[in-house]
């Protein structure tokens, strides 16, 4: 692609909770969404509380936030926060989804705090014309296995399906919904007049868990929401409304997207061959990685002579985001790549081994999680009896 076309593509990117298109310019997104860059000052505060910085922070994979400084000031005063994140269960979990969850688990370990995890089976029913409510509800439980497999603390982690606990959520969502107009929803999400009523209403449901623990515990508790930047529009609205109900504005911390294995764009469950799912068997992973887009040259001879381009390579992004957290090792790989000392086939082979070994372990834990579901799942009865 020539430079002009690349510039045009950069100008044309779209990020909404339901669509990511084009080459995302994250700095411009910070301006567009009105979030803040994670500065060295914020990193310093995190380092002070956690003793070390997660590679996601050092590499600026988590790059943006809302109100972290406020959250840490409250923390310093002894006002402990809870974590809130979620999943729209429209199918199997892919490696992109688990990026924010891996980070959330790290935060839970470091700050020893509660996690409230929302499965929006209602959302995926409203937004996906092909899925029934029974299917999204079933995926909620399947996806919960991936969350549990990552090792969250069962005593402090509460996973719930919107449908299961709708009786508890609905009166709270109604209070949010009354304060959001249709024109705000249209302007924030780009929904048009052909949107169904569930889609228009849905953001009220995603707002509720940001103050649900405050309602349950009858005191105002700060909330931190880790997620990829695509979900920010929901919380922009939530932050306007929640203080009007008497609760703190939720703080949030945002990551970039793990790209798909094809050229450009985020890893997306709807483009199956571009995404590695946590349930994929090794031969499927092999096929996907083998067919992945790289920054390599047309021939081995050219590659040895001119080197390859890691900055556009999906394989390199996988090392960078998830599979090579040692900075020295990554730098060496990068030098080999640009210097023509490694060919794409060899590089794919090494990644394949790492991905397959991660998935084998994850799949084992995922199956074991079936017996642990009841330690994590919150029911309507739990909520009304105060058993949480």
Binding site for ligand TYM (CB under 6 A): 17, 84-88, 96-97, 99-100, 118, 120, 123, 206, 225, 227-228, 230-231, 255, 257-258, 266-267
Q: Is 297 helix (H, G, I), strand (E, B) or coil?
A: coil
Name the minimum Å distance from CB 342 to ligand TYM.
Answer: 26
- CB closer to ligand TYM, 267 vs 369: 267
The least distance separating ligand TYM from the CB of residue 305, rounded to whole angstroms, comes to: 34
Q: How far is the CB of 368 from ligand TYM (least distance, A)?
A: 22
Shorter beta-carbon distance to ligand TYM: residue 26 or 340: 26
How far is Cα 313 from Cα 319, in angstroms, rounded to an integer? 10
Cα 223 to its chain centre, rounded Å, is: 17
CB of 328 to ligand TYM, least distance (A): 25
| Beta-sheet pairing, 251-255 with 223-228 | parallel
Q: CA-based angle 29:32:36, to the nearest 5? A: 70
When the beta carbons of 25 and 332 are compared against ligand TYM, the nearer one is: 25
CA distance 35 to 66: 6
Minimum Å gap between C-beta 230 and ligand TYM is 5
Smaller CB separation from ligand TYM, 67 or 123:
123
C-alpha to C-alpha distance for 62 and 228, rounded to whole angstroms: 8
Distance (Å, rounded) from C-alpha 40 to C-alpha 33? 21
* Cβ proximity to ligand TYM, 143 vs 297, nearer residue: 143
96 or 307: CB nearest ligand TYM:
96
Nearer to ligand TYM, 85 or 314 (CB): 85
* Min CB(120)–ligand TYM separation in Å: 5
216 or 269: CB nearest ligand TYM: 269
Looking up tokens 């076309």, which residue turns up? Answer: 5
**Cα separation, 319 vs 226, whole angstroms:** 22
3-state secondary structure string, 135-191?
HHHHHHHHHHHHHHHCCCCCCCEEEEECCCCHHHHHHHHHHHHCCCCHHHHHHHHCC
In the block, residue with structure tokens 């029913």: 125
**Rounded distance between C-alpha atoms, residue 39 and residue 10, angstroms:** 24
Contact 49, 107 (CB under 8 A): no
C-beta of 61: minimal distance to ligand TYM in Å?
A: 9
Query: What is the smallest separation between the CB atom of 340 and ligand TYM, expressed in angstroms?
Result: 30
Q: What is the DSSP string of 57-85?
A: HHTTSEEEEESHHHHHHHHHTT---EEEE
Residue 87's DSSP bridge partners are: 119
């Amino acid at each position: 692609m020539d430079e002009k076309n690349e510039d045009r593509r950069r100008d044309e990117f779209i990020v909404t909770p339901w669509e990511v298109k084009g080459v995302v310019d994250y700095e411009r997104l910070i301006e567009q969404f009105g979030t803040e860059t994670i500065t060295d000052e914020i990193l310093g505060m995190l380092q002070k509380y956690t003793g070390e910085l997660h590679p996601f922070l050092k590499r600026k994979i988590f790059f943006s936030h809302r109100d972290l400084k406020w959250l840490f000031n409250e923390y310093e005063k002894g006002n402990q926060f809870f974590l809130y994140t979620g999943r729209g269960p429209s199918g199997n979990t892919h490696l992109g989804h688990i990026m924010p969850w891996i980070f959330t688990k790290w935060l839970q370990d470091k700050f020893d705090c509660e996690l409230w995890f929302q499965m929006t089976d209602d959302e995926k029913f409203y937004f996906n014309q092909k899925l029934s409510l029974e299917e999204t509800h079933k995926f909620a439980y399947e996806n919960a296995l991936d969350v549990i497999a990552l090792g969250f603390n069962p005593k402090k982690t509460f996973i719930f399906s919107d449908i299961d606990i709708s009786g508890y959520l609905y009166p709270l969502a109604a209070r949010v919904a009354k304060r959001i107009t249709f024109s705000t929803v249209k302007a924030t999400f780009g929904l048009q007049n052909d949107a169904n009523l569930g889609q228009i209403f849905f953001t009220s449901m995603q707002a509720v868990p940001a103050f649900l623990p405050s309602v349950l515990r009858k005191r105002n508790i700060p909330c931190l929401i880790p997620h990829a930047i695509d979900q920010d529009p929901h919380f922009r609205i939530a932050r306007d409304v929640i203080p009007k109900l008497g609760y703190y504005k939720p703080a949030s911390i945002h990551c970039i997207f793990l790209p798909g294995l094809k050229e450009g764009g985020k890893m997306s469950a709807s483009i199956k061959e571009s995404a590695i799912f946590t349930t994929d068997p090794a031969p499927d992973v092999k096929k996907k990685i083998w067919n992945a887009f790289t920054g390599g040259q047309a021939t081995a001879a050219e590659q040895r002579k001119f080197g390859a381009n890691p900055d556009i390579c999906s394989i390199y992004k996988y090392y960078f985001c998830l599979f090579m957290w040692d900075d020295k090792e990554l730098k060496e790989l990068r030098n080999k790549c640009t210097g023509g000392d490694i060919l794409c086939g060899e590089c794919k082979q090494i990644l394949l081994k790492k991905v397959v070994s991660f998935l084998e372990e994850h799949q084992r834990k995922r199956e074991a999680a079936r017996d642990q579901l009841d330690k994590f799942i919150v029911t309507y009865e739990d909520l009304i009896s105060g058993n949480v």
